Structure 1
Amino acid sequence: MLTITGYSVEFIKDPFGILAGKRYEFLLDIEVPDDDELYSESGLYIRVIYLVEEGRTGIVKYELYERNKDQYLDFDLEEEELQLVDAFCKEHVQEAEA
């Protein structure tokens, strides 16, 4: 199971007004156990695009990266991990408005 150790969140501007709702970009620093297939000595982070729309919120897209190399990793999170990330983003999304 992953642990979120740090994060940043930023509002993504839609200058043309094409997209419904508001989108936010989260960069989540994570740690995973060293026996996990995702483990990397250089560290990991998840880039999450998060949607806030009237009556609904959720993850639009996420990508895993190796921290020091900024190298994309082609892995999917497990369902419990996705729920953890979604709950974390939902709890912290208002910080981008501050």
Structure 2
Amino acid sequence: MLTFTSYTVENVRDPFGILSGKRYEFVINLDVPEDDELYVENGVSARVIVKVEEEQTSIVSYDLQETSSGKVLDFDMEEDEEAALVLFCSEHLPE
């Protein structure tokens, strides 16, 4: 199970007004156990774009990256981890 340790969130601007809903970019630092396949010595973070439309929050895209270098890791989260990520993002949306 992943633990979210810290995060930042920013509104993604849509200057042309062509996207439905609102978009936010989260960068979330993850505490990954050493025995997990996602573990990287320099830390792992998730860069997540979420969409909020009609009270529904969903992931548009995400990348797992090495925290210190920003290098994108070639891993995907499992369904339960993605669900936890959506829940975390929906609970930490800016006002």
TM-score, shorter chain, exceeding 0.5 = yes
Could you tell me how far apart the structure 2 residues matched to 1:35 and 1:42 are?
Answer: 15
Over 3 Å counting, the alpha-carbon distance change for 1:55 and 1:5 in structure 2 is closer
Query: What's the C-alpha RMSD, in Å, of the aligned pairs?
Result: 1.0
Aligned to 1:47: 47
Q: State the percentage of identical aligned residues.
A: 55
Could you tell me how far apart the structure 2 residues matched to 1:22 and 1:55 are?
Answer: 10
Aligned positions of 1:10-29 closer than 5 A? 10-29=10-29
Could you tell me how far apart the structure 2 residues matched to 1:17 and 1:40 are?
Answer: 39
Task: Describe the SS at the equivalent of 2:36.
Answer: coil
Gaps of 5+ in 1: none
TM value normalised by structure 1: 0.92
The amino acid that maps onto 2:43 is: G
TM value normalised by structure 2: 0.95
Q: Does 1:73 align with 2:73?
A: yes
Aligned positions of 1:33-44 closer than 5 A? 33-44=33-44
Task: Describe the SS at the equivalent of 1:71.
Answer: coil
Task: Describe the SS at the equivalent of 1:28.
Answer: strand
The amino acid that maps onto 2:24 is: Y
Alpha-carbon offset, residue 56 of structure 1: 2.4
Give the total of aligned pairs: 95
Normalized per residue, the structure richer in helix is 1
